Amino acid sequence: MSAVPTDHGVASLGEFTFECGQSVPDLEVAYETHGEFDGDNVVLVCHALTGSQNVARSPAPERDEETRGAGQAGQARAWWDDIVGPGKAIDTTEYYVVCANVPGSCYGTTGPTSERPADLDLPDEPDHDRWGTSFPPVQVEDWARAQRRLLDHLGVGRLRAVVGGSVGGMNALEWAKRYPDDVDRVVAIATAGRLDAQCLALDAVARRAIRADSNWNGGDYYGEDRPSPDEGLALARQIGHIMYLSKASMERKFGRRSAGRDSLTREEGDLGLPPEPTAAFFPYREVESYLDYQAEGFSQRFDANSYLYLTRAMDEYDLAAGHGTDADALGAFDGEALLLSFTADWHFTVEQSSSLADAFRAGDAPVAHHVIDSDHGHDAFLVEPEHVGPPLRDFLAEGVEGRAVSDDSGGDRDESVRPESDHAPVHASLFKG
Amino acid sequence: MSAVPTDHGVASLGEFTFECGQSVPDLEVAYETHGEFDGDNVVLVCHALTGSQNVARSPAPERDEETRGAGQAGQARAWWDDIVGPGKAIDTTEYYVVCANVPGSCYGTTGPTSERPADLDLPDEPDHDRWGTSFPPVQVEDWARAQRRLLDHLGVGRLRAVVGGSVGGMNALEWAKRYPDDVDRVVAIATAGRLDAQCLALDAVARRAIRADSNWNGGDYYGEDRPSPDEGLALARQIGHIMYLSKASMERKFGRRSAGRDSLTREEGDLGLPPEPTAAFFPYREVESYLDYQAEGFSQRFDANSYLYLTRAMDEYDLAAGHGTDADALGAFDGEALLLSFTADWHFTVEQSSSLADAFRAGDAPVAHHVIDSDHGHDAFLVEPEHVGPPLRDFLAEGVEGRAVSDDSGGDRDESVRPESDHAPVHASLFKG
């Protein structure tokens, strides 16, 4: 497979007024492109909550500076390399793939960690030069609008497809709602028109954990000698991480086993918290060791304020907003839609995707709801490329008539597509690092 | 219905050596009794994680001093009053009901909040007189042993039944394992032989939240002017609370609604944490307001160290320990067993109760696994007395042949027992306060 051209950059898009009414004087958007633009082959990929523009490896790895420089790994770096690349499901020898870091995040696009304008008049002037929590509230709608501005800047009009998973799927749905004439095909994976009460609750507890960390300090923790709220962010991440795994996959992977001698020690794992004096009597279990290790890596690569902003955006998103129903919100879209969902995903359920399929169908958009039988949880969209890839590839090429695309609406799912999930390997997931 | 005699007290049981090998010079156990002892009518009720000995209201409410004095409410006070009382499923005109606060808890039985012996030689002498985290590690096995000692003290030999839900169900199972000849009937509700990886993970994150509260201070926070780790305990409770509710019941009760004007304000709700500056832009949702309110009440009534100790006991419990399998552990029990489980309980699942039923059956004990179709979650055992009561009542009287006892082993559940759960009221649950 020959190398495809890739590019990366940070586009200065000028003044940007958020949906909340507040604005920034110059919105910078960090992005990558993979493949060659032929005028009609653009696939916009929307990343998930803590993802980045670095959707896939580039043939010149030294290019991945924004994401590498920030010290991140896992989901931040080449997070969908199993799906995006030459010859892969989103084939970069065929499509021009664009992926941009969303406003409010911390991988190069303007957000709480960005330098704030010197002439900004704040009631309580912080002693550092970052936006921090003075940054305007961000919503999923702003992400779509920033992407539209970026694509204009890149000379792209119409899109072949918008693809996204998790809150990136909400971002993709927002394209169908806001720019129905700009996109032919929408792929929304493991997503929903809005979070339910359980997910809202878990996100609220996660934010509370960040706010409870005294290092958070109301959001002012930037500057050379200031400690960052790593512990609060680690706790928030652990809550999120458990949401994204299924009960069955956790039991299979960890069970009740004690962490082995070679594993991380408790002291290394949890950022130096004081242990319980009685802890030595009880095993340090693999599942705890794993969550501690992953959370520590995450605290290194992500910004706590960005986590607050992005979960707020996810919680607030409601596809029906401004229209009354999802069907009305999607009424102007006459492209095709693919919804992918996973049976063991308890964060974004199969039922929620079914409801989205109904909403597309109400507007006469050709739609397929492809259910993947998996005992991975929400992270199946990242760790089961062998099941996500084929329907995604065929849908991009042929729409809902694509060979590997099945429509499981109405409950008559094709059991023949069931993967051997009992023995599925646990791939590097979005939670690595 | 005439009043039945009730009693309450704190029994001094003398030196007690925990399973870990450490001991306390005098184990005090706070308990209540309801009804009259006739030599053969004792029902021991085992409370859940944060419950107390105050299983039901007494006719002389001023008696409920231990639990009232501690300022607690909700699960701590008269927590199973729907089930235990004159004419109720566990009929105190017929049975002599005993309920005791478990060692490690904070409602009068010896635990981390108790005064420690003056002559205790600790490597780092704390500047207060409580046990704190010097208290020996506690296990479910110790709870059963302490209950046995208490019953001896009360002059009770053989028990008609042991009944418990959640970790109280583990406690009841431990009776069948440890004292198989002492008990005729065991009722284990919404429980399991051991926690799975997902529950272990959530408990570990909850403990981490307590440890991360700087007021926790390694467990030394007792004394007049010391702040207690209320925020860490509140976070831990919120995680637990979400575990005990079902996705469907949360959606039905709260949805995405904003908290009304009359509700708690955010500032009142979360113990004075600094808010996110952008929070004013987003709704304070009912689900968050509810969790904040409940957690604040809980922080007032419960002790953070006790929460660490009791979750450790729950996590560590393994029915098979020392025997290899659950069936072997229960092999000597030749009484009858009732397992009650709830379809929407994702903390202790129907499958886990099925597995327990198989284990009892392997030892030829008459067993019924009665599945209650409910969209409440784990807390269904407290909030659906109308479905828990009948099988419990009939099992206590007639064993597995009791009229309202069904055995749903083998998957052929009787759908006719399905409650109108879509419209079920949300009762005061264990999470009130």
Contact A291 B212 (CB under 8 A): no
Q: To the nearest whole angstrom, how far is the Cα of A59 from the nearest Cα of chain B?
A: 39
Residue for token pair 């082993």: B409
pLDDT tier at A121, thresholds 50, 70, 90: confident
Q: Among candidates A99, A59, A103, which has minimal Cα distance to A79? A: A99
Given a cut of 90, whether residue B274 has pLDDT beyond it is: no
B47 is catalytic: no
pLDDT at position B104 over 70: yes
The predicted structure's pLDDT at residue A276: 82
A326-to-A355, A411, B24, B408 alpha-carbon distances in Å: 9, 21, 63, 40
Cβ-nearest to B198 among A208, A242, A281 = A242
Is B228:B241 a contact under the CB 8 Å cutoff? no
State pLDDT tens for residues A149-200. 999 999 999 999 999 999 999 999 999 999 999 999 999 999 999 999 999 9
The answer to whether residues B332 and B387 touch, using CB atoms and an 8 Å cutoff, is no
Q: B47, B370, B378, B387: which is the annotated catalytic residue? A: B378
Evaluate if residue B166 carries a pLDDT over 50: yes
Tell me which chain A residue has its CA closest to the CA of residue B218.
A274
User: What digits encode the pLDDT tens for the residues A366-425?
Assistant: 999 999 999 999 999 999 999 999 999 999 999 999 999 999 986 544 444 433 333 333
Of A140, A191, A203, the residue nearest A352 (C-alpha): A191
**pLDDT above 90 (res A61):** no
Task: Spell out the residues 6+ positions from residue A374 whose beta carbon is closer than 8 angstroms to its own.
Answer: A342, A343, A344, A380, A384, A387, A419, A421, A424
Q: Is there a contact between A232 and B247 if contact means CB atoms under 8 Å apart? A: no
Q: Is B353 exposed, middle or buried (0-12, 13-18, 19+ CB in 10 A)?
A: buried
Residue A71 CA to residue A64 CA, distance in Å, equals 11
Q: What are B220-233's pLDDT values in tens digits?
A: 999 888 999 999 99
* Alpha carbon distance B413, A50 (integer Å): 43
- pLDDT tens, A346-366? 999 999 999 999 999 999 999
CA–CA min distance B365, chain A (Å)? 28
A232: chain B residues, CB-CB within 8 Å: 212
Q: Which of B204, B207, B274 sits opposite A218 (nearest CB)?
A: B274
Split at pLDDT 50, 70, 90, the class of B111 is very high
CB contact under 8 A, B256 and A194: yes
Q: Tell me the domains of chain A and their CATH numbers.
A: 8-196+317-417 (3.40.50.1820), 199-217+224-311 (1.10.1740.110)
Using a CB-CB cut-off of 8 Å, the residues of chain A touching B197 are: 247, 250-251, 253-256, 287
* Residues A290-333: tens digit of each pLDDT: 999 999 999 999 999 999 999 999 999 999 999 999 999 999 99
| Residue among A251, A273, A309 whose CB faces B196 most closely | A251
Separation of alpha carbons B233 and B211, rounded Å: 9
